[in-house]
Structure 1
Amino acid sequence: MGPDDSETDAGVADDMIVAGRIILGLKALRDQLGCSLHEALDAYAARYEVLRRERPADFTKSHEEYWANFSS
């Protein structure tokens, strides 16, 4: 694993989060963080909130639409 791998992994997770690809985003975070599914879901939700604030124009769905078909 090279020095830029963690940044690349974070970028992949961010891309998945912005695109609304929740399952793939969770997998990317689990791989990156080496954590449980529950921990990845917590990290995903926290990162989602940050990205939603920092990059609102990148999201094509409202908050409600984004989470509408996902149940944990």
Structure 2
Amino acid sequence: MTNGATVSLVDDQILANQIIPGIKTLRDHLDCPLHEALKVFVARYEVLRAERPEDFACGHEEYWTGFYS
């Protein structure tokens, strides 16, 4: 998987509120520990939330409901 394909896949997973699959994708691609993949996921989430808020189906609070790290 290329970098561009990974970013696109993770972006799609973030926008679809697929937190765990998105973190797993990053962990597999970056070959990093879980906590590092979570940091990258959250950073990308924040970029997308700022740049493409209309692409999210729910608000920030609802997005993270039920996810505990």
TM-score where L is the length of structure 1: 0.91
Structure of greater relative contact order (alpha carbons < 8 Å, 6+ residues apart) = 2
Q: C-alpha displacement at 1:7, in angstroms?
A: 0.6
TM-score where L is the length of structure 2: 0.94
Gaps of 5+ in 2: none
Give the CA RMSD over aligned residues.
1.0
Gaps of 5+ in 1: none
Runs of 4+ in structure 1 deviating by more than 4 angstroms, as ranges, are none
Q: Work out which of the residue numbers 52, 58, 64 in structure 2 matches 1:67.
A: 64
How many residue pairs match? The answer is 69
Q: Matched residues, percent identical?
A: 55
Asked which structure has the greater CA Rg, the reply is 1
